[in-house]
Structures are given as structure tokens and as C-alpha cells.
Structure 1
Amino acid sequence: MTNMLTYVTEYQNMTFAQLPFNELDGVILAQLAYVDYNILQQQPQRQFSQIDSVTLLEKSVAQTWNPAANYALLLALRQSRRYQQLRWSNWVQHTNVAVEEQFSAVTLTFAPHRYYIAFRGTTATLMDWKEDFNMTFLDTIPSQRTAQRYYDKAAREFPGRYYLGGHSKGGNLASYVVAHSRGALQDAIVSAYSADGPGLKTPLSPQIKQKIHKFIPEASIIGLLLEPGLDYQVVKSNATGIKQHDPYTWQIQDRKFELVATPSHLSQFTQHSVAGWLDNLDDATKQEFLDSLYALFAATKYQRIDDFTTSWRSTLKLLAPELLNTKHETRQQWRHVTGQLLNSVLHEAKNVLDENRPHLRK
């Protein structure tokens, strides 16, 4: 399998002067937003090449979506001449329950006066998923505003050339910062990399488009959410379904991602169905529906998504009384919203059938 780890190993002796920063570097560094720097900071060094404890490296990625691959990445970076200057600073991580925000970012220096700000994507916490869903009815979510402030402060304190990026929600945050930066702060941004991150709901200007490099896998669902245009490239993946959301499954060729023409039919079908569903609901209805659903799951006292899947029998027992105690108006709203989703799915299915009928007749 040829993926990002292969790239780090094969080109470990080529400096950025010999092989300029590219899309693979952009997505690789985005993965470093998931590292728990609170663990790595047990050592005084802030440079990956100087970390001598493999135990700390392993612990720092233990809670990520793909611990084995992230651990292998850290080991490869540690031995790479290309990334020998790579160091981290200004790591922040905070959760604000009141405004439903979960944010984390880190600044990575990979060459003199060359910085990469990695915004963390969606984690396995219920709060993080709720903030993602809030994008459907809010013009701006709290993490987007925090990401803008984080970049503004970094660019003013450390002048230089900036690259931004992130996976999933992190890609959305990076795109948001590019789209909303002005003047010298805009000029300092070289490019941004969104690895299967949701869109910004509105079309972007040509100036902004040329700076944002968005990649989605063939079976993308998350990366096509709130995406109004076709400003993305589709990457071949060796996984199936939602597992393609993991960039380590993305294939590379000739120091670039291996591309395919379009997302899969199922991915496009899902995108159009969800887009139609959201268009049929006003923002107040979206908010009420998501708030009530979040409150229902929060009442179980579970805080992580994997708690719901690994303890599904216990989850059902906890949810049953909460469902019974839900107000009649709330249950009616759920029926309305889910009914609209079903209508959107059926409408999209009819459109697909109508498009294929001429081919079926042949």
C-alpha cells in the first residue's frame, strides 16, 4: 500500500529546498493536530527529531482514531531529514460546554519563518459532534472564531509564511481562516489544506479558492457536507465506506494523491439527499431538533461516541426512559424532521432513476 507513511519514508532525505512543500506535507502535518502534546511536553524538547522516548510517542496518540498509523508517523518523522527541524509550539486545547465548543490547535515550524497551523478535527466526544452539526444552522460556530483569533495572534507574534490545515472539522477551520483573513494576515497565508473537511456553505472568491486545497475520498460523506460547489479533488482510497475518512487509506502516486474523476454514486446520492433535507428545514427547526437530540444522548452521561457503540445495550436502557419522558411537541418535531429526510432520500432516488431510465431502455 502506497500512502502518506510511504511518502515520509521514501523522501526522508529530501529537504524542503530540494522538494518544495506540497499537498502530501499539508495533509501529513494536519494529522499532528490529534497528538496529545500534554504528554509529549513531559520532555523539554519541542522538536520531533529529538524525542527519544517511544513510550511517550505511543501514549500521545493512544486516544486518536488510528493510533497505530499515527504512532508510525511520529516514528517516521523522528528519523526524517526532511522534517528534522519540525517543532511544535503554542499548543492549545479547551472545551466550553456553555457554547458547545471543543477546540485544539498547534503551530508547527518546519523551516525558518515557515509555519503550519494544524487545527484538530472531530474527535470521539459527543460535544465535538454536536458542534459539527451546529454548522448546519449557525453562520459561524465558536471554534471558527477561535481558529481565526489563534491564527491572527500567531501571525502577528511570529511574522513569516503560513500554511494552515486540518482533517475533518480541522479542514473546515483552516478554510474558514483563509476565507475571513484580510490585508497582511491574508497575504501571509500561502495555502490551506482541508482533508475531508465540511464546506463553508457559501461559494468562495477566486482569490480564496486558489489558496484552499481540499481533498475528499471517493466515498466521502463528511467532506461533502455544506459544500456548495466542486472545489475539491477526489482521492482514491483502499478502504470502504466511512473508513475512507481516514487519510492513511488515501493512495499516492508520483508524490501526489492518486485522483479519481468523481465521488462514488453513493457519496453523491447521500450529499444530494442531505442537502435537500437541510434546504427544507429552517434554521430554528434544525437547532431545536439537534438540541433536543443532543440533550437526549447527554442524559445518558456518556461523553464519547465509542461509549454508545461498545455499550449499546446499556445505552438503550438509558435512552428508553428519556424517550418516554420527552415532551409530545419534541417527539412531533422529530417525526417532522425525520419525515423530511425520508422525503429527500426518496426524491433523490427518483431523480437517479429518471436519469438512468434512458440507459435502462437501451
Structure 2
Amino acid sequence: NTIYVAFRGTDDTLTGWREDFNLSFLPKVPSQESAAAYLRSIMALGFQNVYVGGHSKGGNLAVYAAAQMTPENAAHICGVYNNDGPGFVTDLFDAPEFQPLQKRVHTFVPQASVVGMLLEHDEAYQVVYSTQKGIMQHDPYSWCVIRNDWYYLDDTTTLSKIMDSSMRQWILGMQPEQREKLTDAIFHVLQSETNAKTVQDLVDGGAGTLSAVLHAWSDMPPETRRFMQKMLGELLRIIGQLAAAKRRSEMLAGRMRTMES
């Protein structure tokens, strides 16, 4: 009577990666609807104890699918496990009947998490120690366990906090139509001249890929290029401001500790 329903993360296709970007401006994307339909088909089999989870985009799909179940089905969901998956642009748990389910959502991120801190999360998260560095901590095989649980840390790193705040301000500072325009422009640059279908195609293209990307950039309408430059410049400005503020805060705290000692 117990089953674990697992959703996979983003595949290697540029279509899959584009859908990830679409999460920033669409209330739902096709993979989320497919995930909900799949979970409903599993619930119809009559399992009494259902666990749902996934890594990266799979974690996002797990949370979304669980939130789309009827209250009767949701009562059989014992836990939802989001392993460093991005959040949402809408509140999935607005309805009172879903508040009990929200309390059964468990989110885990590594100490330098970037992906898992994107967009809005309704739930709290726990920090897991990773042996990797930076963005490579997204790899779940680098996460450490101790006995029958994760090896937890108290908090994420300073850099993770700065990136989280920066991306949040940057994304929320754009209107949904601006996020869509930026996504269209990015994937136009990546695909229009390279004919790449996957991330590996871009990597394998080497110098040819770079040449094609530069050609696509130069052929882009001037107003679109200016828009992209403005948006990326705004992100760098926000990161710089938050990093400077964090440094000032740490210096002040250091002075206070020196004075107290």
C-alpha cells in the first residue's frame, strides 16, 4: 500500500531548458500538467501511502503535481520531497484545504544552492552538506548522509544568499512579458544559427557554436540587443549592490565583536 512517485529533472534538450526559463513567467508549463496527470493516474490505483519527489526540475514537478490533487487524494500523500528544485511564480497552496499538504512538503538544498533558491517557495528548506563547489553542488550525488539522514548544515553560504536575493530582485523586477521577451531572445541566440537541439550539441560545436551565437547576436534587432544588455546589466548591478552591503554588514559585525572583546 506504499509507493514513491519520482520525477526526473531537466534533460539535455534545449526545449527542456527553455521550459525551465518559462517557469519564470508562466503559471504552469506542459511538463507540470503532465506530472499532475501522471500522479492522478497513480492515485487512482488505490495506494494508501504515497510519497512524491524529484531532483531539480523534478522537485518542482513533484510539488506542483501534489498541489493539483483533490483533497481526498492529497490526504494519502505522506510526503513531498523537493531536492534543490526551483520554486513558482504563483502560490500553489492558497486554498485552505491544501494547508495540511503544504506542511508535508520537504525541501532540501546544498549550502551553495542556486537552482533551488530560484522563484518563490511556500515552504521552508533544510541545508545539506555537499562535497562539491559552487553550482556543481546541484549534483545530488555530492550530498552527504550521516546514518539514516542527510548531513545537515545550519544555513546556506553568503554567496548563495547574495545570488538568491539578486535573482529574486531581478526576476520580480521584470514584468512577465519582459521575462518572456528575454527568454525568447536568449534561445534565439542559442538556436537560430547553431541548429542545436541539445546542450551537448552546443558544446560539441566548439568554435563554430561561438561564431554562430555571435552572428545571431549581431543579426538581432537593435532594440532587442539593447533590452538584453539592459536586463543583464541590471542583474550585475543588483549582485554588486548586495555583495557590497553584505561586506559592510560583516565588517560592522567584526568591529562590534572587537569592541566587545
In the superposition, the TM-score normalised over structure 1's length comes to 0.65
Please give the alpha-carbon distance, in whole angstroms, between the structure 2 residues aligned to 1:252 and 1:233. 13
Counterpart of 2:30 in structure 1: which amino acid? P
* Aligned equivalent of 1:130: 18
Per-residue CA shift, 1:9-39, capped at 9, x if unaligned? xxxxxxxxxxxxxxxxxxxxxxxxxxxxxxx
Per-residue CA shift, 1:116-160, capped at 9, x if unaligned? 211111122211111111111111122111111111122114443
3-state SS, counterpart of residue 191 of structure 1: strand
* Aligned equivalent of 1:250: 143
* Aligned equivalent of 2:65: 177
Please give the alpha-carbon distance, in whole angstroms, between the structure 2 residues aligned to 1:272 and 1:315. 32
Please give the alpha-carbon distance, in whole angstroms, between the structure 2 residues aligned to 1:267 and 1:163. 29
Distance change >3 Å, CA 203–CA 352, structure 1 → 2? farther
1:312 to 206, 210, 220: 206
Please give the alpha-carbon distance, in whole angstroms, between the structure 2 residues aligned to 1:345 and 1:173. 29
Counterpart of 1:266 in structure 2: which amino acid? L
Distance change >3 Å, CA 130–CA 319, structure 1 → 2? same
The Cα shift of 1:310 comes to: 4.0
1:259 to 148, 152, 157: 152
* Aligned equivalent of 2:191: 298
1:268 to 161, 181, 200: 161
* Aligned equivalent of 1:336: 230
Distance change >3 Å, CA 320–CA 200, structure 1 → 2? closer
2:179 to 277, 286, 291: 286
3-state SS, counterpart of residue 106 of structure 2: strand
Distance change >3 Å, CA 263–CA 345, structure 1 → 2? same
Counterpart of 1:116 in structure 2: which amino acid? Y
Please give the alpha-carbon distance, in whole angstroms, between the structure 2 residues aligned to 1:190 and 1:240. 33
Please give the alpha-carbon distance, in whole angstroms, between the structure 1 residues aligned to 2:11 and 2:92. 27
CA contact (8 A) 1:209 1:231 kept: no
Among all aligned residue pairs of Structure 1 and Structure 2, give the percentage whose two residues are the same amino acid: 31
CA contact (8 A) 1:292 1:330 kept: yes
* Aligned equivalent of 1:145: 33
Per-residue CA shift, 1:90-119, capped at 9, x if unaligned? xxxxxxxxxxxxxxxxxxxxxxx2222111
Counterpart of 1:248 in structure 2: which amino acid? Y
Please give the alpha-carbon distance, in whole angstroms, between the structure 2 residues aligned to 1:138 and 1:344. 24
CA contact (8 A) 2:102 2:123 kept: no
Please give the alpha-carbon distance, in whole angstroms, between the structure 2 residues aligned to 1:330 and 1:293. 10
Q: Which structure's relative contact order is higher, taking Cα pairs within 8 Å and 6+ residues apart?
A: 2
The Cα shift of 1:208 comes to: 2.6
The Cα shift of 1:323 comes to: 1.5
The Cα shift of 1:245 comes to: 1.0
CA RMSD of aligned residues (A): 1.8
CA contact (8 A) 2:7 2:54 kept: yes
The Cα shift of 1:161 comes to: 2.2
* Aligned equivalent of 2:78: 190
The Cα shift of 1:330 comes to: 0.9
* Aligned equivalent of 1:4: none
CA contact (8 A) 2:110 2:128 kept: yes
Per-residue CA shift, 1:290-323, capped at 9, x if unaligned? 0121122122111221332343311111112211
> Higher helix share goes to which structure?
2
The Cα shift of 1:251 comes to: 0.7
3-state SS, counterpart of residue 113 of structure 2: coil
* Aligned equivalent of 1:218: 111
Please give the alpha-carbon distance, in whole angstroms, between the structure 2 residues aligned to 1:209 and 1:187. 11
Counterpart of 1:142 in structure 2: which amino acid? P
